[in-house]
Structure 1
Amino acid sequence: MPSDLSGSARAPGGSRLNPASALLCLCMFASGACGIILEYIQASLASMILGNAFEQWAMVIGLMMFWMGFGSLIQAGISRERLVHAFIGIEIALALAGGYSPTLTYLSYGYTSHYSLVLYFFVSVIGILIGLEIPVIIRINNDFSKELSTNLGNILSADYIGSLAGALVYVFILLRFFPITEAAFLTAGMNFFLALVTVIYFTRKQIIHRNIPLLGIMAVTCAAVIFGFMNNRQWQLTNEQSLYDDPIVYSKTSQYQHIVITHFKPLDEIRLFLNGNLQLCSTDEARYHESLVHPAMALARDRSRVLILGGGDGCALREVLKYPDVDAITLVDLDPAMTRLAATHPLLSRLNDHAFDNARVNTLTGSGTLPGDFRQIYQSASDRKRKPVDSWRVADSRHVAEVRVMNLDADKFLEQVKGVWDVIIVDMPDPSTPELTKLYSKQFYLKVRHKLAKDGIASVQSTSPYLARESYLCIGRTLASAGFFILPYHENVPSFGDWGWFLCTRKDWGSAFWQQRIAALEFSVPTRFLTPEVFRRELVFGKGMTQSRHTEINTLLFPVLLSYYNHESWLLE
């Protein structure tokens, strides 16, 4: 950079930013926003591919910070005359690496066993490039700023403020409305725009000269980013299909999760995946959902009011709706996209027997819900007697329960809602992430117990007692610590292996009352798999299967279950 421009470019008296410094601060603001978004994209990608979001976010952010430090070191090798060209090159490289990294990583995940190396390669490259940005811009701005303190203050504050802006954009816009591959190309477009603005401004000021090769590189980069943005969704579908055995018939990323449905037509087999994890298979889901629902429903003294936490696919709801003496069902699932899909998609709605159609469904989303709304909708504990309502009956005069669907966090719902339920069914995804692990904590189970009627029963999905034994037993200890008497049981579900649940009450399962109830158990509704004899067999475990060397319970401040599930489970697969 020519030294004779430094004095003339400074603002008189240093009272305000001159145009060059203002442009560099804006570039730093935008690059700070892009940098944090690219970090979040890489961390999200690592969580989706490698699992264990808590660890992957920490590892990716830590690794990127390390390489950012390395980038800050190697910038010393860039000569003063080449600083502007270096900044342009950094933004071009970020546009290409940042834009294409999710697509290429996802491609490697589908076709090679070395996808983690590809992922961390891009994490390292992007970290080095981000690390180069800040010192390079500071050095460029040094010729347009009177004081070093002013230079550092302006550039660093722009970077930090930009990082906050980028975090807000990622959380409230990109994460909600765009797939991760598209979010990467949108961010890449901003990096390219920074390079373009820098070229135009400094060329007009004759600080850099017109360079045909550079313009050619800019044109190729622009075309590559636009091409990637236009085709990324199709690439995502093509790459994603390699991850599944059966044809994908639905794939969409909601605000909370990635939802995939596959359909193998020769067997009419439907599979639902959330974030790549199998949630149900139509050929054996009855084993899971009947075991989850019917023991609690059959053993309950009263089942007029039922609460389902999770279960957005509608299959647990399907089983509960079989009981004619159920008056009201409340289903709480965080993701409105999931419950909407279960109600409208022809394959899922057929699988759940149109559970959302066969009753009146009132949907409230978390964004507009206040405690007052709950008091209005849900009856108090003392309001036990209700008269049938004609609108609850279908054409064949069969009584159908009133169903209300709430799309919000189950923990928040239990915290604010009034009243109690006779049967509570907890059908949550496995505790593979911090946000899911809190739904298996003592604090959460205390809230469940508080909402369970005095003689009520809760049924809790609890992972595999064989493949995830320590996780299963930890859930049992945590339920007991919340004041529940627990009854463990398990069943083989071919798609998942040996699977387990807990029945929970306020009364000891060893009492004569419960022993008699279990011995005389009958199911008053039709089932495809479960019988009283099968359930009594499910209560039997092999030698040592319910013994553990651990004593810890899962709490919000010590989520030990997350470590059990991600490190001590599934080792037999």
Structure 2
Amino acid sequence: MRFCNMDHTPRYLPILLAFCMFTTGASGLVNEYVLATITTYILGNSIEQFSIVIACMMLMMGVSGFVQSKMSDQNLLQKFIAVEVLMALLGGFAPLAIYSAYGYLENHFQFVHYFFVLSVGFLIGFEIPLVMRIIEQNKINLRVNLTLVYGMDYVGAFIGALIWVNYLLKNFPLTEISFIVAGFNFIVAILTIIYFMTRKIISRPLIHCVALLVTAVALIWGFVSNRDISNLLEQRFYDDPIVYKETTRYQHLVITHSNITDDTRLYINGNTQFSSLDEERYHDFLVHPLMAAAPDAKNILVLGGGDGLALRELNKYPSIESVTLVDLDPEMVKVASTHPRLREINNDAFRNAKVIIEPASLDEPGSHSGLFLYEDTATVDDSEYVASLVVYNIDADQFLRQKPKQQWDAVVIDLPDPSSIELSKLYSKQFYQMLRLYLTDDAVISMQSTSPYHAKEAYLSIGATMRAAGFNALPYRQNIPSFGDWGYYLAWVDNKTEAEVKATLSRLENFEVETSFITPELLAASFSFGKGELHTDTLCVNTLMQPCLLTHYVDRSWIVE
């Protein structure tokens, strides 16, 4: 129906429209974030996924702006209500639908994904033009028009972004956030109908009420059931039963356990982090070659390693006086400190930790000894030596930029593969140069460096980047059944050549401590590579401004010919 025949602007209409634009601005932006984030969790490469999702939404907003210009001025109110109801339904159920499609239609799930991305973008594009036309019909002057529509829409988007970052993402899974946001779109529809029903200027109110009731029931059911549905869907992605899952501010954690093989696995964003059946192979080669190359190391820095497994191996060395562990996610450390099975696997590695969560500065007081340890459920050898341990839950790059006052004799870098721009920067020339400032003259670094076979160009890029930062870099490898052929680097800054360090370690007769898998003979063999395996025509140095490592890893790794 048309409102232009009214003698004056309906009372409180500007306030209602201002609230509508504020709310839709906030919910529209958060909807974009939710869809982009779930795509990142599934496909990785956050910059690419966020860029594509938001670009598609912007495209459809433009398309809908053109489409609405061809619509008549009849029933603009009903059209606005319909847009908000559809936004609530599509936005609320989108994450569950996309997740279901990935589980059941893995090869075609992007059709479902982009249906929701494009549809939500199309509906968002309708909101502002419809409100503008409703305002025009009610003869609200241009200045108020622009203030209501653009001002409140932009303010709402800003507030929505703050709520997303500081509250929603920290406290709710994506499948629940979508229904919370849908609730705001639904509230807009309800308030609009109530306002115009009280003024008796809306046709067929019963039909509108029934539609809202059906929508309310669907959204309430989705909100109440989303976690159970998500659990059922997620189990399809894992061979073994899920025994723990949590979406933290930074990542999605899943722990599975097989009663048949007694295999416990940790997954982050769907990617295997370790299997209890062979993780000792991985961590032996990460830690013990380092300690053999730096036998006098007393102060150790660990970057990553929030599962405590590298720390478990370091705790075997009585010569180590202190360990500083830097892992971004406090929830990862909490799980490794409290989950009975993980505590058993890591030998309760955090049992004497002082944990500082997201410090404003490295000198921030108020650390808590044993912060996460509340129940002694693990089997631990209390006679084993444990070095002094301080854990910082902060990004490794930020940690170094805050200029720590300590210097370290050895560094273990146990970070995830460089599958996103956030991780790629921790493999950059600038990061290694900054790390070098906090090392003693004879310090040694060991770092996991992805697969020299499945991700050859990425592996070689990591070595080239370390050398460009002023380090010597010695490559070595080992087969880890859960991962395949896996690569590492030892790096140092003194005058010893790679050949000299390789020869010294190859002559090693035994390790200082008892190891689970590695032997001197295996270490010597790990320095061997086949013809051409350490050569590539696409070698590049990874920098902040040219993150070529990310391109190598995402586009040229684990490709099945």
Query: Where on the TM-score scale, by shorter chain, does this alignment land: which range?
Result: over 0.9
The residue that corresponds to 1:418 in the other structure is 405
Does residue 570 (structure 1) correspond to residue 558 (structure 2)? The answer is yes
User: Which amino acid in the other structure matches residue 315 of structure 2?
Assistant: L
What are the ranges of 5 or more consecutive residues in structure 2 without an aligned counterpart? 369-379
Deviation, 1:206, is 2.2
State the alpha-carbon separation in 2 of the partners of residues 402 and 3 from structure 1.
Answer: 74
User: What does residue 442 of structure 2 align with?
Assistant: 455
Aligned to 2:513: 525
In structure 2, the residue matched to 1:111 is: 104
Deviation at 1:369, TM superposition (A): 3.5
Over residues 120-148 of structure 1, what are the superposed CA-to-partner deviations in whole Å (9 max), with x where a residue is unaligned? Answer: 00001101100111100110011334433
The answer to whether 1:147 aligns with 2:133 is no
Q: Tell me the residue number matched to 2:420.
A: 433
Q: Is residue 335 of structure 1 aligned with residue 329 of structure 2? A: yes
**Paired positions, count:** 547
2:382, 2:113 → 1: CA distance?
A: 57
Whole-angstrom distance in 2 between the partners of 1:437 and 1:4: 57
For residues 393-430 of structure 1, the C-alpha deviation after alignment (integer angstroms, 9 at most, x for no partner) is x9966542111111111111122211211110000001
In structure 2, C-alpha distance between the alignment counterparts of 1:520 and 1:337, rounded to whole Å: 39
Distance 1:534 1:457 in 2: 20
Matches of 2:475 and 2:501 in 1, distance apart?
17
Shift of 1:450: 1.6
Cα deviation digits, residues 178-226 of structure 1 (max 9, x gap):
0000000000111111000000001112221342222111100001101
Q: In 1, distance between residues paired with 2:143 and 2:258?
A: 65
1:411 alignment partner AA: D
Alignment of 1:404 with 2:395, yes or no, is no
| Corresponding residue number in structure 2 for 1:364 | 356
Q: 1:97 to 1:395 in 2, by over 3 A?
A: closer
Looking at structure 1, the residues matched to 178 and 223 of structure 2 have their Cα atoms a distance apart, in angstroms, of: 9
> RMSD over aligned Cα, in angstroms?
1.9
**Residues 490, 239 of structure 1: CA spacing in aligned structure 2 closer, same or farther, 3 A cutoff?**
same
Question: Between the two proteins, what is the percent identity of the paired residues?
Answer: 45
Deviates more, 1:552-561 or 1:149-158: 149-158
- One-letter identity of the residue aligned with 1:39: E
Distance in 2 between residues matched to 1:395 and 1:467, nearest whole Å: 38
Deviations along 1:336-364, one digit per CA (max 9) or x if unpaired, are 1000100110111111111112xx21000
Equivalent-residue separation in structure 1 for 2:53 and 2:4 (angstroms): 43
What TM-score do you get using the length of structure 1 for normalisation?
0.92
More deviation, 558-567/409-418 = 409-418
Measured after TM superposition, the shift of residue 149 of structure 1 is 4.5
Distance, in Å, in 2 between the alignment partners of 1:517 and 1:435 is 34
1:194 aligns with 2:188: yes
Q: 1:344 to 1:144 in 2, by over 3 A?
A: same
Amino acid paired to 2:122:
I
Structure-2 residue corresponding to 1:123: 117
SS of residue paired to 1:142: helix
Please name the residue that 2:470 is paired with. 483
Select which of 66, 69, 76 maps to 2:69.
76
Counterpart AA for 1:265: N
Q: In 1, are the aligned partners of 2:197 and 2:205 still within 8 Å (CA)? A: no
1:168-317 to structure 2, matched below 5 A, reads 168-317=162-311
**2:17–2:148 CA contact under 8 A, matched in 1:** no
Cα 1:525/1:4, change in 2 over 3 Å: closer
Q: Distance in 2 between matches of 1:89 and 1:398?
A: 67
Deviation at 1:54, TM superposition (A): 1.3
Partner amino acid, structure 1, of 2:23: A
What residue identity is the alignment partner of 1:561? L
Q: Distance in 2 between matches of 1:20 and 1:510?
A: 76
Superposed CA deviations along residues 440-474 of structure 1, whole A, max 9, x for unmatched, are: 11111112222221111100111000000000011
Of residues 141-150 and 257-266 in structure 1, the stretch that sits farther from structure 2 once superposed is: 141-150
**1:152 CA displacement:** 2.8
State the one-letter code of the partner of 2:489: F
What's the secondary structure of 2:74's corresponding residue?
Answer: helix
Range moving further from structure 2, 549-558 or 305-314: 549-558
Q: In the superposition, relative to structure 1, how do residues 262 and 62 fare at CA in structure 2: closer, same or farther (>3 Å)?
A: same
Aligned with residue 542 of structure 1, among 524, 530, 539: 530
- Deviations 1:259-294, CA, capped at 9 Å, x for gaps: 000001111001100011100011111111100110
Residue 4 of structure 1: how far off its partner (Å): 5.2
Q: Which residue of 1 aligns with 2:9?
A: 9
Partners of 1:298 and 1:516 lie apart in 2 by 9
Equivalent position amino acid for 1:464 in 2: S
- Specify the alignment match of 1:37 in structure 2: 30
C-alpha change, 1:544 and 1:203, in structure 2 (3 Å) is same
Q: What SS does structure 2 have at the residue aligned with 1:322? A: coil
What TM-score, normalized by structure 2, do the two folds share? 0.94
Paired with 1:276 and 1:187, the residues of 2 have a C-alpha distance of 25
CA distance in 1, matches of 2:243, 2:393: 24
What letter is aligned with 1:484? F
Contact kept? 1:21, 1:145, Cα under 8 Å? no
Which residue does 2:161 correspond to in 1?
A: 167
Range moving further from structure 2, 538-547 or 210-219: 210-219
Q: Is the 8 A contact 2:2 2:76 kept in 1?
A: no
